[in-house]
Amino acid sequence: MIEEGSKRSKAMVEKRQLFMEMRAQNFDVIRLSTYRTACKLRFVQKRCNLHLVDVWNMIEAFRDNGLNTLDHNAEINVSRLETILSSIYYQLNKRLPTTHQINVEQSIGLLLNFMVAMYDSEGHGKLTVFSMKAMLATMCGGKIVDKLRYNFSQISDSNGVMIFAKFDQFLREVLKLPTAVFEGPSFGYTDHSVRTCFPQQKILLNTFLDILMADPPPQCLVWLPLMHRLANVENVFHPVECSYCRSESMMGFRYRCQQCHGYQLCQSCFWRGHANGPHSNQHQMKEHSSWKSPAKKLSHAISKSLGCVPMGEAPHPLFPEQAERPQETHTHNVQPKSAAHNMNDTLIMSTGAPTPTKSVLESPSRLDEEHRLIARYAARLAAEAGNSTQQCPPTDLSFNFDANKQQRQLIAELEHKNREILQEIQRLRLEHEQASQPTPEKAQQNPTLLAELRLLRHRKDELERRMSALQESRRELMVQLEGLMRLLKDEEQKQTSGGSPHSSPSHGAGCSMPMPIRSTSAGSTPTHTPQDCLAGVGGDVLEAFAQGVPRNLRNDLLVAADSITNTMSSLVKELHSVDDLVEEEEANMRNGRERGTGRVQKH
């Protein structure tokens, strides 16, 4: 009962720890609810180390844990949720350098308690699969367009059209995030939230992204893009003095008044509503997320006046309008991460879309997608050329015709080069498949090599089990050694005081403290005599206490501990030798495959 009470109290302390730390940051002094909510959620994201987990790594973790095969309304218990979070954070530590490792247990505890407090307020001990996906895919790191694309794949049908009932469910789950950080009155869920976001009847992917990434976005989700902007400007430096706090530099956002000349505020002063002089909080402020020197501003103004600056960029790239499969099922066979795989991950992050797999490249729609884009661009150029022809005098008709002809020739050349590149990709893929097929020589060598590798791995597993058993024995020996040292100390004190070692054994300090022993056959709590306290201990120790004269038992026990340590060292050396043999065999197999690949390429 006492242990259960202590565990319960510890869980309550851990549950409140994140909220206590967030309250200590004093975010409530921020007067604007949008910035206040974004700052709180950004703090939770960084405190739980979710900002280090990219959205594509999160999707891979969902697939590895089998969540892509479960129904959205299926429930998972807290223990399985803890297992999923453990796999996410342990995989994160594998990707991070050794100097930037995170505390996995602490991160799991903080995030688990936050999710349970947010989605399981009634204490059922279960969460739905959709709740967990929506929360983790929203709070992890990565680009907002990638997160929204993944969420759209979860709430759309096979035709790529959004299902309003599922978006309503998504909105309910996501808006629990502001409620969890005590911002529910500003951004809580209402029955009209869906229609205020999408008054249209048919919503495709690009429309979904246009509305949620617009400026401004829907009111209920205005904190979501701001949280990502906060992450992007945390380390931005502005060499400008704040007009209120007189700080000589700013970090993060910079706010410039549109009415007061040269009046600029740092984000801390602006968020708290500070103002001085002729400036008022009612003045319109412009938010800056970067710093441009006066020379750069002058060059930008000149380029803009000359028409060299392009039009405003779209908030996101244009994606195909056909239905997208959920990103969880893009890759069926997960291979070990190699240099090429890491390069694909980098490409995913830079382009905002996953690298096409083999089936995607070979599908006719994907092969013709680039041709359609080129044809669309050609039609746009032709339309612009037609409009300019109508506006220009008749003397320029021949010039416009020649320009249009040159553009069409350029487009034809680009299409031809594109076909050649696709054919080259197909040829290289076929060569790779042929090179990866086993040759007759490797077919004869592989069984022997594989058998040896299996034996070596089996031997390695046995050594690891023995080493773990010896580690456990050594730990128990050290615990017993500590208890026995206390007994020896008590016996020496009794002899020096003139009393007999057996006169009052029931009051010995060593007998009042139970020693943790894994085996259930030994006595659980020592009672009356030192001999009873040593039940199940080695013969030398029992003999030493039976004679009543303390021998040099410390040296004996230390010698025993050293022998176990030496045994463990020898096991570690043997384990390393087995690892070297395994690596050598695998290197031989790789060399054999490379030689076979070279022979195939020569043929």
pLDDT value for 357: 40
Q: Give residue 78's identity as a one-letter amino acid code.
A: V
pLDDT value for 514: 39
Do 331 and 358 form a contact (C-beta atoms < 8 A)? Answer: no
* pLDDT tens digits, one per residue of 242-285: 999 998 888 999 999 999 988 999 999 999 999 998 999 899 99
Cα separations in angstroms, 1 against 4, 5, 6, 7: 5, 6, 9, 10
Structure tokens at 134: 């929506």
Cα separations in angstroms, 464 against 15, 352, 457, 461, 572: 37, 43, 10, 5, 8
**Cα gap 40→118, rounded to integer Å:** 14
Greater model confidence, 112 or 523: 112
Greater model confidence, 538 or 75: 75
Q: How far apart are the first and last CA of the chain?
A: 76
Strands 250-251 and 264-266: unpaired
pLDDT value for 279: 92
593 class by beta-carbon count within 10 Å (0-12 exposed, 13-18 middle, 19+ buried):
middle
* pLDDT tens digits, one per residue of 197-248: 887 778 999 999 999 998 888 989 999 999 999 999 988 999 999 999 998 8
Asked if residue 435 has pLDDT above 80, the reply is no
Tell me the whole-structure pTM to 2 decimals.
Answer: 0.53
The DSSP line for 203-260 is: --HHHHHHHHTSSS--GGGTHHHHHHHHHHHTT-EE----TTT--S-EES-EEEESSS
Asked if residue 596 has pLDDT above 70, the reply is no
pLDDT-derived band at 536, boundaries 50, 70, 90 = very low
Do 188 and 175 form a contact (C-beta atoms < 8 A)? Answer: yes
Nearest Cα residue to 464 out of 578, 562, 575, 573: 575
Structure tokens at 85: 């979070």
Asked if residue 287 has pLDDT above 70, the reply is yes
Asked if residue 508 has pLDDT above 90, the reply is no
Q: Mean of the pLDDT values across residues 513-541?
A: 41
pLDDT value for 334: 39
Choice among 33-47, 48-62, 99-113, 540-554 with the minimum mean pLDDT: 540-554
Q: Mean of the pLDDT values across residues 319-327?
A: 59
pLDDT value for 340: 38
pLDDT value for 122: 78
* pLDDT tens digits, one per residue of 135-187: 999 999 999 999 999 999 999 998 999 999 999 999 999 999 999 999 988 88
Structure tokens at 347: 């490409």
Greater model confidence, 492 or 38: 38
Nearest Cα residue to 56 out of 140, 128, 139, 153: 140
Q: Mean of the pLDDT values across residues 304-330?
A: 57
* pLDDT tens digits, one per residue of 9-23: 555 566 688 889 999
Beta bridge partners of 265: 255
* Residue for token pair 């740092």: 266
Q: What's the whole-number average pLDDT of the chain?
A: 74
Greater model confidence, 579 or 441: 579
Share of the chain above pLDDT 70, in %: 62
pLDDT-derived band at 496, boundaries 50, 70, 90 = confident
H/E stretch holding 10 reads helix 2-24
Choice among 303-312, 382-391, 422-431, 466-475 with the minimum mean pLDDT: 303-312
Q: Mean of the pLDDT values across residues 188-196?
A: 81
pLDDT-derived band at 29, boundaries 50, 70, 90 = very high
Structure tokens at 374: 């080129």
* pLDDT tens digits, one per residue of 333-379: 334 443 334 434 433 444 444 444 444 444 444 445 656 666 666 66
Beta bridge partners of 286: 256
Q: Residues 291-302, buried b or exposed e (16+ Cβ, 10 A)?
A: eeeeeeeeeeee
Asked if residue 121 has pLDDT above 90, the reply is no
What number of helices (H) and strands (E) belong to the chain? 24, 7
